[in-house]
Amino acid sequence: MIKKVDHIGIAVKSIEEARKFYEEVLGLKVTGIEEVKEQKVKTAFIPVGDSEIELLESTSEDGPVAKFIEKRGEGIHHIALQVDDIEKALEELKGKGVKLIDEVPRYGAGGAKIAFVHPKNANGVLLELCERD
């Protein structure tokens, strides 16, 4: 069911400020910035080997990333696992009694289909399942 770690999402107050560390200090490059209006977030992907780092900046004070930062501060928000068939993966998890935040996939950055697994099932870690074409 799981192909690989697709990306690690990091909640930041400012993508422009945060990207300086990744680009100027680590020598990595942001490959694109995209706004996902449905999720009230702006994202920036930074390729690292076969995976990516996703910087997440809220576009609204009441957005989920803004609430996360208010409660926990900047830092790791989620780990995304790539799957071949997200609908099948969600069905399997639901059948195993796993609590899902999203029972139906939604649109994510880069055109991916995504769904979140409740952190209570994963030792406090918010897991994102994602399917990419």
Q: Whole-model pTM above 0.75?
A: yes
Query: For 64-119, how does the pLDDT look when each residue is reduced to its tens digit (9 = 90+)?
Result: 999 999 999 999 999 999 999 999 999 999 999 999 999 999 998 888 999 999 99
For residue 1, the model assigns a pLDDT of 82
3 state DSSP class of 73? coil
Distance CA 71, CA 7 (A): 23
Q: Please enumerate in sequence order all residues whose Cβ is within 8 A of that of 83, keeping only pairs 6 or more positions apart, or say none.
A: 1, 2, 3, 89, 129, 130, 131
Indicate the pLDDT class of residue 133, thresholds 50, 70 and 90: confident
Instruction: Walk across the sheet containing 2-11 and list its strands.
Output: 32-36, 41-48, 51-58, 2-11, 75-83, 127-131, 113-117, 106-107
Tell me, what's the pLDDT at 50? 94
pLDDT score of 102 = 96
CATH code, 36: 3.10.180.10
- Total number of domains constituting the chain: 1
The two most distant CA atoms of the chain are separated, in Å, by 46
Q: Which two tokens stand for residue 129?
A: 């399942």
* Residue ranges making up the domain that contains 20: 2-131
**pLDDT tens-place string over residues 4-50:** 999 999 999 999 999 999 999 999 999 989 999 989 999 999 999 99
